[in-house]
Amino acid sequence: MSQTNLPAVNLLKDRKRRIRRQQVIFAKVQLMAGVILAIYIAILGILLSVRLLVSRNLASVEDSISDEKLTLSQLKPVESLYTVVVNKASLLADYLEARAEQRNNLVNLYEKLPEEVLITKVTYEDQDRTYETDLITQDMYSVLDLLNMMEASIEDKSYRVIQIDGLGRDKDGTYIVPAIFQLGTNTGENGTI
């Protein structure tokens, strides 16, 4: 049997194909790794650039802050002046809001009393805004007028509380009514007798 008549068998063909496939995979893997590395380096570069940018901005803002602080330190006398004015104005506002108008309050108390009723003693306490009074009158009708006046004063909220501490009559026929008148707050409150 002659060898030349046998069909040719190329045993290297399959192996070459495998090698070629492996080379393709090799190239792809290298490429992918390269691309991933490039992307990572790009990200790192961007990150470093951002950091640089932020650092520069921060330094620039800090410089501006230093400049502003320098200018403000030169304006300190004006600020000090302004602070004193605001503080004193605030105190004045507190005072104006809290002060009781003594003149008007005393005149109002007097004007509200019936004509026949006299005040012999007034003690005013600003802390609880009360007038402790000794009222006298010569007749019982004036006492009734006084009680009516007290009711009316509570209704029109002139006083928060009106308290009668007693009703007496002297030997000479003088009626004595010790009474306390408490002013309401500026916000207004319901009164009681």
Partner 1 sequence: MALSNSNLSAADIEMMKVSWRTWVFPVIVFIFIAASAVLVLYPQYQEIQTKRTELKAAETTLAVLKEKRQFLEALNEDQLKDQRARLETIIPSSKPVYSFVTALTELSKQSEIIIESYTLKPGELATESAEAEETAAPQEVEGGPGQFSTIPIEIEVTSKFSQLVHLFELIEKMSPLVEVNGYDLTGELGSAQKLWELGNLTSEDLKTALILNLYWSLRPVQISAIDQPIVKISSREEAAMAKMDQFEEFLGDGIAIPPQVDYQRENIFTLP
Q: Sign (positive/negative) of CA torsion 140, 141, 143, 147? A: positive
Q: Sign (positive/negative) of CA torsion 102, 107, 131, 160? A: negative
d(CA 192, CA 180): 12
Query: How far apart are CB 101 and partner 1 at their closest, in Å?
Result: 7
Phi, psi of 121, deg, nearest 5: -160, 135
Do residues 120 and 134 lie in contact, with contact meaning Cβ atoms separated by under 8 Å?
A: yes
Query: How far apart are CB 126 and partner 1 at their closest, in Å?
Result: 5
Q: Tell me, what DSSP letter sits at residue 11?
A: T
Closer Cβ to partner 1, 122 or 180, answer by number: 122
Closer Cβ to partner 1, 34 or 192, answer by number: 34
Closer Cβ to partner 1, 42 or 152, answer by number: 42
Residue whose tokens read 């790192």:
44
Query: How far apart are CB 5 and partner 1 at their closest, in Å?
Result: 28
Query: How far apart are CB 4 and partner 1 at their closest, in Å?
Result: 26
Query: How far apart are CB 67 and partner 1 at their closest, in Å?
Result: 9
Closer Cβ to partner 1, 27 or 192, answer by number: 27
Closer Cβ to partner 1, 48 or 193, answer by number: 48
Q: What angle do CA 28, 31, 35 make, to 5 degrees?
A: 140
